[in-house]
Amino acid sequence: MPELCRFFGIIIRMFPEAGAPHHRPHFHAVYQDAKAAFAIDTIECIAGSLPQTQQRLVEAWAELHVDDPRRVGQLAIGHSGGQD
């Protein structure tokens, strides 16, 4: 499960989910026991939830880093973890 970034206790990951209920290109954010999936194209939460502050941080991260879905895919394939 490739880790794209880690900041303020939030882990951003991207991995394939065959047969999952949401099929839009998305990434996952985990903060403590909270988990959420965010659509890449609209940067909206499409599953799960995070505390409001952490959701805003994830949305801000996505605005800065998810400028091109192909770039996110490349990060997921070639990034082994750590800061982005």
pTM for the whole structure = 0.75
Tally Cβ neighbours within 10 Å of residue 16.
7
User: Is residue 59 included in any domain, yes or no?
Assistant: yes
Tally the domains of the chain. 1
Domain encompassing residue 30: 3-78
User: Is residue 83 included in any domain, yes or no?
Assistant: no
Q: What is the pLDDT along the chain (84 residues), one digit of tens a residue?
A: 688 899 999 999 987 666 666 567 889 999 999 999 998 889 999 999 999 999 999 999 999 887 765 566 555 555 444 444
User: Is residue 15 included in any domain, yes or no?
Assistant: yes
User: Is residue 84 included in any domain, yes or no?
Assistant: no
User: Is residue 66 included in any domain, yes or no?
Assistant: yes
User: Is residue 30 included in any domain, yes or no?
Assistant: yes
Of 70, 73, 27, residue with least CA distance to 50? 27
User: Is residue 16 included in any domain, yes or no?
Assistant: yes
DSSP 39: E
The confidence score (pLDDT) of residue 22 equals 57
User: Using an 8 Å Cβ cutoff, are 17 and 10 in contact?
Assistant: no
